[in-house]
C-alpha cells in the first residue's frame, strides 16, 4: 500500500508511540532510511524526477517537495501509520478550538497607597484612570472593619451593597499629589470619581480626604465636628441632619463636604451669622480671596454642578458652603 511520506515524517517524530507497535517498527526503519537516502541525494545535487499527468518531469529539490512522494509499505504497517496521522489531526483540531487565555487586567498602582500618602509625581491625563479605584464593601473586609459601629451601623435604610469605597488622588494644599479616600452611594460612584478627576486635572487643592471614622468621637455628629475641625473632605456618615432628626444625605452617601474650614456651615438667626468652628472665622466673609473659598462659578462649584450636584452655598438659611449633594435615595 502506498502512503504519503509526510505521514511517515510525523510517525518518526512520534517514535515513542511507534515503539509500542512492534510490527511496524522494522518498516518504519526502512522507510526512514529511504527518506534519508532521498534527502542525501538531493543535497548532492542528484535529480529525482516525478512524472506529472502531462508527461513533464519536475525536480524535487527540498524536504517539502520530497514529502509529496509516496512509499510502498505492507498493509498492516500502513494502517498503523494512518492511525498515528489521525491522532495528529485530532490533536491539531482540539488545539485550534482551545479558548485563548484572558490577559490579566493591569493592576491599579493606587492599591499600594494609603489615604494621606504622597504619590511623588504629577499624573498625566492618560494615566489618571489608574489612580481612581472603587470597590464594594463586604462584611469582614478591611473597610468594613474600619466603619462598622462607627460611620456605618446596621439599619433599614442603607445596606452595605448601597455603598462604594473610593480611593482617589487629589492635589493637596502644598500642591502635591496625595491619595484620598471616600465612601459614597453606589449610584453616584462613577459621577463622583469623574468630578474629582476634573478637579485634579485643574490643579484644584483639597487639604485631605479621609473617612470620617479616622476622627471618630463616639457619635456621628461629634465625629463630623472633629472631621471638620481637621479640614477633612468626606462624604458618608450615617447620621441625622445638623440640628434635626431626619437622616442627612450624608447617611445615604449622597453628600460631600469639601474643605470645610474655608467653607463653613452658617446659620442665620436674628439677622446674625452663626458658625461652630473657630478655625472658620476668617472665611465667614465670602469676599476672602483664599483659593480654597468656594464661590459661584469657580472651577470647584461649576464642576460639581456640571455633574448634577446642588451646592449648599446657594441655600438661604442655613448656608452650607462646603456641601454638595445629589438626591438619589
Instruction: Tell me the per-residue pLDDT of 131-170, one tens digit each, with 9 for 90 and over.
Output: 999 999 999 999 999 999 999 999 999 999 999 999 999 9
For every residue of 235-276, DSSP letters joined together read: -----BPTTSSSBPGGGGT-EEE-STTTS-EEEEETTEEE-S
Question: Mean pLDDT throughout 26-41?
Answer: 54
pLDDT over threshold 80, residue 172: yes
pLDDT in the model for residue 108: 85
Mean pLDDT of all residues in the chain? 82
Question: Mean pLDDT throughout 189-201?
Answer: 98
pLDDT in the model for residue 241: 83
Angle between helices 189-201 and 299-306 (to 10 degrees): 150
Helix, strand and coil content of the chain, in percent to the nearest 5, comes to 40, 20, 40
pLDDT over threshold 80, residue 225: yes
Question: Mean pLDDT throughout 30-45?
Answer: 53
pLDDT in the model for residue 92: 65
Question: Mean pLDDT throughout 226-243?
Answer: 93
Q: Tell the residue number behind the cell numbers 445596606, with chain if given.
A: 159
Q: Which of 157, 314, 176, 313 is nearest to 249 (CA)?
A: 157
pLDDT in the model for residue 266: 98
Q: What φ, ψ does residue 139 adopt, rounded to 5°?
A: -55, 130
* 226 strand-pairing partners: none
pLDDT in the model for residue 74: 60
More confident residue, 315 or 54: 315
177-185 sheet: strands from edge to edge: 132-136, 163-171, 177-185
pLDDT over threshold 70, residue 65: no
Q: Round to whole Å and give the CA distance between 187 and 267.
A: 30
Neighbouring residues of 165: CB distance < 8 A, sequence distance ≥ 6: 134, 135, 136, 137, 143, 181, 182, 183
Query: pLDDT digit string (tens) for 47-62?
Result: 434 444 554 444 444 4
Question: Mean pLDDT throughout 105-126?
Answer: 89
pLDDT over threshold 80, residue 17: no
pLDDT over threshold 60, residue 88: yes
pLDDT in the model for residue 96: 53
Task: Name the pLDDT band for 67 (thresholds 50, 70, 90).
Answer: very low
Least-confidence region, from 42-51, 67-76, 77-86, 228-237: 42-51
pLDDT in the model for residue 50: 46
pLDDT over threshold 90, residue 101: no
pLDDT in the model for residue 7: 55
pLDDT over threshold 60, residue 29: no
Radius of gyration from C-alpha coordinates of the chain? 38
Task: Name the pLDDT band for 277 (thresholds 50, 70, 90).
Answer: very high
pLDDT over threshold 50, residue 280: yes
Query: CA torsion, points 9, 15, 19, 21, in degrees to nearest 10?
Result: -40
pLDDT in the model for residue 42: 43
Question: Mean pLDDT throughout 252-280?
Answer: 97
Question: Mean pLDDT throughout 114-139?
Answer: 96
C-alpha distances (whole Å) from 276 to each of 142, 228, 273, 281, 287 are 33, 10, 10, 9, 20
Task: Name the pLDDT band for 250 (thresholds 50, 70, 90).
Answer: very high
More confident residue, 106 or 274: 274
Q: Round to whole Å and give the CA distance between 148 and 146.
A: 6
Amino acid at each position: 500500500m502506498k502512503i504519503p511520506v509526510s505521514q511517515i515524517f510525523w510517525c518518526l517524530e512520534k517514535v515513542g508511540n511507534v515503539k509500542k507497535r512492534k510490527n511496524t517498527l522494522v518498516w518504519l526503519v526502512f522507510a526512514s532510511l529511504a527518506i534519508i537516502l532521498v534527502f542525501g541525494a538531493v543535497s548532492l545535487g542528484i535529480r529525482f524526477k516525478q512524472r506529472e499527468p502531462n508527461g513533464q518531469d519536475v525536480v524535487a529539490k527540498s524536504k517539502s517537495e520530497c514529502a509529496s512522494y509516496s512509499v510502498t509499505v505492507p498493509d498492516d504497517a500502513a494502517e498503523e501509520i494512518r492511525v498515528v496521522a489521525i491522532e495528529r489531526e485530532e490533536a491539531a483540531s482540539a488545539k485550534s478550538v482551545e479558548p485563548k487565555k484572558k490577559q490579566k487586567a493591569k493592576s491599579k498602582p493606587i492599591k499600594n497607597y494609603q489615604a494621606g500618602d504622597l504619590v511623588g509625581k504629577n499624573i498625566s491625563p492618560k494615566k489618571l484612570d489608574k489612580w481612581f479605584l472603587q470597590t464594594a464593601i463586604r462584611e469582614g473586609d478591611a473597610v468594613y472593619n474600619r466603619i462598622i459601629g462607627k460611620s456605618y451601623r446596621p439599619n433599614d435604610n442603607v445596606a452595605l451593597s448601597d455603598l462604594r469605597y473610593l480611593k482617589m488622588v487629589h492635589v493637596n494644599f502644598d500642591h502635591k499629589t496625595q491619595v484620598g479616600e471616600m465612601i459614597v452611594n453606589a449610584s453616584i460612584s462613577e459621577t463622583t470619581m469623574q468630578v474629582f478627576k476634573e478637579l485634579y486635572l485643574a490643579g484644584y487643592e483639597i487639604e485631605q480626604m479621609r473617612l470620617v471614622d479616622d476622627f471618630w468621637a463616639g457619635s456621628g455628629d461629634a465625629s463630623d465636628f472633629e472631621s471638620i475641625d481637621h479640614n477633612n473632605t468626606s462624604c458618608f456618615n450615617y447620621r441625622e441632619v445638623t440640628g434635626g432628626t431626619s437622616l442627612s444625605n450624608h447617611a445615604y452617601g449622597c453628600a460631600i463636604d469639601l474643605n470645610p474650614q474655608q467653607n463653613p456651615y452658617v446659620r442665620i438667626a436674628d439677622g446674625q451669622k452663626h458658625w461652630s468652628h473657630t478655625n472658620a472665622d476668617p472665611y465667614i466673609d465670602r469676599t476672602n480671596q483664599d483659593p480654597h473659598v468656594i464661590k459661584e462659578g469657580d472651577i470647584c462649584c461649576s464642576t460639581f454642578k456640571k455633574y448634577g450636584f446642588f451646592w449648599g452655598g446657594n441655600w438661604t438659611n442655613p448656608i452650607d458652603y462646603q456641601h454638595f449633594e445629589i438626591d438619589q435615595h
